[in-house]
Structure 1
């Protein structure tokens, strides 16, 4: 999987968010591309973000940077860890859900 934007390492950490658990990339509905964060998307594209609707939370739109497993939005929002490798994701990302998903 290719991660667009400004990743700084192979796990998807970016210039904006590069803590130990910042290993999630999100597939943006508007362009069907994975970015480490909304800032990377906005700085790299010439279009506005589109939110994933509540009825689309079964879509595989989350990429674990540790093992490259794709998770559904619902899995990501309710577990905060990868279902494949058990890597823990940054719980503070929940503060930004409204930038990616209809809440």
Structure 2
């Protein structure tokens, strides 16, 4: 093995297999199709089984949000823009009591009001949501 330590070769091989498995678990879905792994109509770019996408991929990026324009869920606005043929519209205030958020960890669908009033965690399973999303909620929910 040309001077390589056996443990290191095994570690890099394991790392490569893990990355390959993660890549296989990610899907890009364009309209009119939806990602059949989820209980809601969801589209996105390189979406993993917990709704992380190519654009937002930290441990806490585990929500998908419903758009008012089409009623479909996407992990982020960029995913929406890249997978449909129309401009995004935020979820309407008059529908804040309807399911508009998907927790990618437990699969719960949450009303917009519940999500907006949450302490950046899923009320069903306790999974942490990205607190930075508060800065751009107006892009997803009508004010």
Would the TM-score normalized by the shorter structure come out above 0.5? yes
Residue 17 of structure 1 is aligned with which of 20, 39, 56? 56
Q: CA deviation at 1:53?
A: 2.4
Q: CA deviation at 1:7?
A: 3.7
The higher relative CO (CA closer than 8 Å, separation ≥ 6) is in 1
SS in 2 for 1:97: helix
The structure that has the greater radius of gyration is: 2
Structure 1 gaps, min length 5: none
Distance in 2 between residues matched to 1:20 and 1:52, nearest whole Å: 25
> Aligned-residue CA RMSD in angstroms?
1.2
Task: Name the structure with the higher helix share.
Answer: 2
Structure 2 gaps, min length 5: 1-38
Residue 121 of structure 2 is aligned with which of 78, 81, 84? 81
Q: TM-score, normalised on structure 1?
A: 0.92
Q: CA deviation at 1:3?
A: 2.8
Q: TM-score, normalised on structure 2?
A: 0.68
